[in-house]
Structure 1
Amino acid sequence: MSASERARRMLSMIDRSHPPHHADEKTTLTGFLRWIRCHLIEEYARHNGHADLIRERIDGSTGE
């Protein structure tokens, strides 16, 4: 089983029927998986912002 398949299987275990409680964060499998997902989204957004800054320096155009 590949890492992607394992990740998909673990993410499918998340109970999305109610919002997470802060007490759950990183202490249960569901809370931990939610924390990882949020962290990955945050990191992805940060790197996209850095790429925009680099592109703006190279070509001089800015976004709207």
Structure 2
Amino acid sequence: MSAVSRRCRVASARVGGSSVRDFVEGTGSVHVEGILTLNYVQVRCVADIDLTSLSGSGHLVALVP
């Protein structure tokens, strides 16, 4: 079994998208991007989330210094 570090620090984040969204009613979708540190490596998280089902997909991109 490998050791997994749970250290994560968010450096910046933004929510975007041109669709109409309502966080209170849970409708629409959001595009989220942010920079965070995961296992001492800076990465950019990019995700699209459907607010109705709270499901979505995303990926991490390692930021090379």
Which TM bucket (shorter chain)?
under 0.3
Higher RCO (Cα < 8 Å, 6 or more apart): 2
Report the structure, 1 or 2, having the larger helix content: 1
Report the structure, 1 or 2, having the larger strand content: 2
What TM-score results when the alignment is normalised by the length of structure 2? Answer: 0.20
